[in-house]
A and B are shown apart, each in its own frame.
Chain A
Amino acid sequence: MTATITPSTADAPSDGRDGRRSSRPNGGARRRRPKVTAGGMASSVFLWLYAAISIAPLLLMVSNSLRTTQDMATQPLGLPLPPDFTSYQKAWITASFDTYFFNSIFVTVASVLLSTVVSLLAAYAFARTKSKLFTALEGLFLSGLMLPVYLAILPLFFLLDAAGMISNLWGLILVYGALGIPFSTFVLSSFFRQLPIELDEAARLDGAGPFQTFWRVHLPLVKPAIATVVVFRFVPVWNDFFYPLILIRDQDSYTLPVGITRFFGEYQTDWATLFAGLTLATIPLVVLFLLATKQIVSGLTAGMSK
C-alpha cells in the first residue's frame, strides 16, 4: 500500500493546516454557535476564493461571447455592456452550430436511451438469478469500468466501415450505447438487489410472467436509479470528442465537440464567435446540472455508501 498512499499522506499536512485553522476555534466555540473567528474567516476566504477561481473562466466565456471582437482586442477585460448577440447568430447559422447541436442532442438522447433500456433488462436478470454464468457475465460487464476501451478504436472503425456506418449517427449511437452498459448495469443491479424477492413471488402468484413482473412491479420502484443513470451517462456522451473525431468524417454529421474543433480552425481570429460557440456547447450541461444536482452528486459518489 505504502507506494500509493504515501504521496497523499505526505500532501495531507498542508490541507490539514487549513482544517486546523478553522476547526480549532470552532471546536472551542462548540460547533453549534459559530463565532466569527480568525480561523473561520480564513476558511471562508479560501472557499470563496476557490469558488471564484473555479467559476471565473466560465463566466468570462459567457461574458465575452456577448462582446465584439474589437472590443476584446482593445480591452481584454470588460463587461458586455450593452450585450451583443450577433456572435450567437453567426455561430448558430454561419458556422453550422445548429447542425452540430441537433446532431449532439439526437446522438446523446438515443444512446442514453439505448444503454439504459438494455442495462435495465440485464441488471434485473443479474439481481434475480443465481448461477455462475450470470456472475461471470456481470463480471465481464463490470470490467468495462476500468478498461481503456477507447484504444480499440481501429477495429471499431473497420467494423463500422464494413457495415457502411462511418459518418452515420446510428453507428455512434450503438457505440455509446455499448459504452454505457458497464456503469448502468452496475448502478441498476445494486438497486434491484435491494428490492425484496417477495415482490416477485407475489407477482407470480398473481399470474404475472417474468417480463410483466419486471415492467409493472420493478421498474416503477427503481426510478431514482434510472434518473441517476440517465443524467450520469448524458454528460460523457454529450462531451465526448474522441469517437466522433474518428468515426464521423462528414461535416453534416459532426457532433458539437468535433464541430468546435473545425470551427476553431476556421474562425481563429473571431473571438466573439469562438466564445459563443463554446457557450452554446456548455449551456445544456449547465441546465442539466441545475435540474439534477442530486442525481449528479449521487452518481459521482456511487459506491461510496457501501
Chain B
Amino acid sequence: MSAITALKAPRRRGNTGIALSRRAGMVFVLPALILFAVFIAYPLFTALSYSFFGWTGILRGDFVGIENYVTLFTKLPYSEDIPNAFVHNILLFFGAMVFQNTVGLGLATLLHRLTRFKRFFQTMYTLPYLVSPLVIGYLWSLMLSPLFGPVNAVLRGIGLGELAQPWLGNPQTAIWVVVLVTAWQWIGFPVLLYGAALGGIPEEIDEAASLDGASAWQRFRSITLPMLVPAIGTVSVLTFIGAMEAFPIPYALGGSQGNPAGATDVLSLLFYRTAFESGSSNAIGTSSAIATLLFLFIFGISMLITMLLRRAERKLF
C-alpha cells in the first residue's frame, strides 16, 4: 500500500525562506540521508550491478555483460515463465483500471451528491483497502474453497449450483479470481481520490452550464470528466505500479509457484522464486536481471504516464 498520490515535487511558494545555515541544515538532514543511503540507495545500485556478473551460490564470479539477460529470454523455464507472468501483470492492471474507473468512479459520483451516510459509505468502501493484502488473499481462498466455501454455497443456495466450481483449482478461472480480488481490494482508493477531486470542482461552473441548458450527461462529459483528469492519471500511475508489484494476493491465492500450473504467476513471484527457491547456482545473477528489467519497466512506464498526464493537464487548463 505505497499509495502516494504525490507525484509532483512540492511547489515552492508562500513562506519558503532561509532560516537555516547550510551546516545546520545538513545536520538536520543527515539522519534521514544515512538511512536512505544505506537501506535504499546502496541496495538499488548494487542490485543493478549484480545482474552483470555470473554467480556461484553467494560468490560473485566474473563480469558476464548481458549474459544473464540473454538467459532470461532464451533458456527454459525463464523464456516461458516471463511472458506468462507478464501477461498476468498486464491483466491485473487493465482489470483493476476498468473496475476502478467504472464502479469506482460511479460510486464516487453518487457519494458526492449524498448528504447523509457519506462518511459511512466511504468507510465501508475503504476498509478492504486497509486490510493486509495477504489476509485478503487468504480470506478469499477460504471463501472460494470448492466444498465448504461460502461462495459455492451461495451459488447452490440460489439455484446456480452448476456454476459452483473449484475457482482456484481451475487455470481458466484462477487468474480472474486474482484480478477481481485485487480490484475489489483497491477500489476504496479511487473512491476517496475521485471524491476529493469532485469536491474541488467549483459548483458555479456546473450551475452556469445547467442554466445554459446543458443536460446532466453533457455536464458530466464536458465539465466533471476533464476536471477529473489529474485524479484519473494519479489512479492510473498507482494502479500500474501496484499491478506490476503484485505479490501478496497472488502468493496467498496460488502460492509461490503461481498454482495451478503457473496460472496465477506474476513477475514478483517469479523474481522471488528465482532468487530464493530455484536452487540454481546462478540464482542471484538471473533473479537480479529479472529485478532490473522489472525495475526499468515500472519506473519507465510510470514516468511516461506522469509526463503525458502533465501535458494533458496543460492542454486542459
| Residues of A participating in the B interface, judged by any CB pair closer than 8 Å | 1, 3-5, 7-9, 11-12, 14-16, 18-20, 22-24, 26-27, 43, 46-47, 50-51, 53-55, 57-58, 60-61, 72-73, 76-77, 114-115, 117-119, 121-122, 124-131, 133-134, 137-142, 144-156, 158-159, 174-175, 177-179, 181-183, 185-187, 189-190, 193-197, 200-201, 204, 210, 213-214, 235-236, 238-239, 241-242, 245-246, 256-257, 260-261, 264, 271, 274-275, 278, 281-282, 285-286, 289-290, 293, 296-297, 300-306
Contact = CB atoms under 8 A, between A and B. Distances in A.
B150 A77 contact: yes
A contact patch SS:
helix
Contacts of A138: 9
B132 A19 contact: no
A185 B299 CA distance: 21
B39 A178 contact: yes
Contact of B309 (A1, A115, A124, A190): A1
Q: Pick the most buried of A73, A117, A130, A148: most chain B CB atoms within 10 A of its CB.
A: A148
A115 B215 CA distance: 50
Contact of B3 (A133, A271, A300): A300
A47 B38 CA distance: 47
A268 B311 CA distance: 52
Given A24-B215, A147-B295, A260-B134, 12 more contacts: A3-B308, A50-B125, A53-B184, A54-B125, A124-B28, A125-B29, A147-B299, A148-B298, A154-B284, A246-B272, A271-B148, A289-B126
A278 B312 contact: no
Contacts of A5: 229, 232-233, 308, 312
Contacts of B268: 150
B4 interface: yes
A152 B124 contact: no
Contact of A141 (B5, B36, B284): B36
B202 interface: no
A144 B36 contact: yes
Contact of A285 (B114, B130, B138, B148): B130
Given A130-B16, A181-B32, A289 B5 contact: no
Q: Which of B13, B125, B132 has most A Cβ within 10 Å?
A: B132
Interface in B95-141: 97-98, 101-103, 105-107, 109-111, 113-114, 119, 121-128, 130-135, 138-140
B111 A47 contact: yes
A19 to B, nearest CB: 5
Contact of B32 (A119, A133, A261, A290): A119
Contacts of A264: 138, 252
Interface residues of B, number: 138
Contact of A257 (B25, B134, B200): B134
A141 B110 CA distance: 37
Contact of B4 (A134, A148, A183, A286): A183
Contacts of B230: 304
7 contacts: A20-B220, A26-B113, A76-B153, A118-B35, A134-B29, A271-B142, A285-B132
A1 B9 contact: no
Given A73-B148, A194-B14, A19 B220 contact: yes
A51 to B, nearest CB: 4
A-B pairs, 9 with minimum CB distance: A76-B153, A15-B106, A178-B39, A303-B6, A1-B312, A152-B43, A125-B28, A197-B17, A239-B132
B15 A19 contact: no
